Structure 1
Amino acid sequence: MRNNDLDKLFALAGEAKREATWQGFADYLEQHGKGIRKKALVTLNRFIDDAVLWTFTERLRFSLWLLNALNNDALVQPLKERLVIPTLREWKDREPLQAEPYLWLGLLGIDQMFHIRRALELDPKCQRARAKLCEWVTGHISYNQHELPSFYIHDPRVDLLDLAEAEALCVGYEETDWAIWTLAEIKEQRELAEAWLRNHPRLGDFASH
């Protein structure tokens, strides 16, 4: 583990120590940072055993603190599966018109596009949902176009519709540099799709895998 990662880990442990009921998680972070992996996992599971019995409000406060403090990919599986995701699902059920639980579930990869799109329906200005959907569209189309000029995977007409949606989501995005870069990528992908259609105008003239 790099020094920068260790610093972040111990800083997070310091924050957790401020809450009496989070001490077990702080212990886990410190043990993990010191390389005591087996003991750390035992400590983590013991903490989760206690945490799942907290009130919904306590579980949600911890889960949101953790989600905002860590990269989603850094969430260890037991914590995510046993505590964070069940808490987010309960939040969604309790407040079905609140965008944030849908957003977090989507960002954690749970039925991703359904939850991201639902978050956008509930809050069209949700910047993280807009960004994630744009990334998904451009990533998917990048795959569809990666065999060009030999062949195009999927229907480029559908890709053009998806690119129009992604372009609309970029408008008004707060991070201007990100929007400029994404719009440039969308422009390039649109040109490739349109060029394929000019040279292959017949319906179904694309690969289906």
Structure 2
Amino acid sequence: MINSPYYGVMFTLVGYLLGMWLSKKFKNPILNPMLVGIITCIVLMKITGISYEEYKIGANYVTFFVAPATVSLIVPLYKNIETLKKNLIPVLVGIFAGAVTAIVSVILLANLFGISEQLKMSLVSQSITTAIAIPLTEQIGGLGAIVSISISFRGVLGAILGPSILNLFKIKNPVAKGVAMGTTSHASGTAKAIEMGEVEGALSGLSIAITGVITAIVLPIIVGIMG
């Protein structure tokens, strides 16, 4: 019974629900639901002796709903379509700048610290959603497992620090806040953006999709130039 794939589902749901409860109760950005969920799943796997491969079989049932959930972000975007129309050019320019900066900064830092070529290629697409990042990373010679971990880490970090950074630079515009969260922190950032407001959530969801498309186009070009 301990090898049942349903343990993956159960661990994931327990971790998520615990994370949501702690986040709402203590209002501390460190208690990010995704971070708490990851730690909870690791602890439960250690206690039960279930390997990651066994956990992943069940967790894939939950992962399946990531794509439909992402698509559902079109609902708040549709409700705020007029806001998008008024800010279309700034939004597109901001997303493009964020996507390119993310790639270039990773390459520069990787070269500076002498990181191996394979590891570097595993990190350059960490600013986009996992569904796009893994095949794109493998295409340029990186490891899907590494980019998956870096995406999760980046998302959690963005959700925790993003609001504070926006406040530090006194960014009040909901459109700018949404684009910033979605472009840099994908799904985790969007979840936080939805808490900020409907406009922020809508623009953050849009930014995930556009960042993915832009990165898929420009990444091979930038890697070819800067590699």
Name the TM-score, length of structure 2 as normaliser.
0.24
Q: Which has the higher contact order (CA 8 A, sep 6+)?
A: 2
Greater fraction helix:
2
Provide the TM-score with structure 1 as the length reference: 0.25
Larger radius of gyration: 1
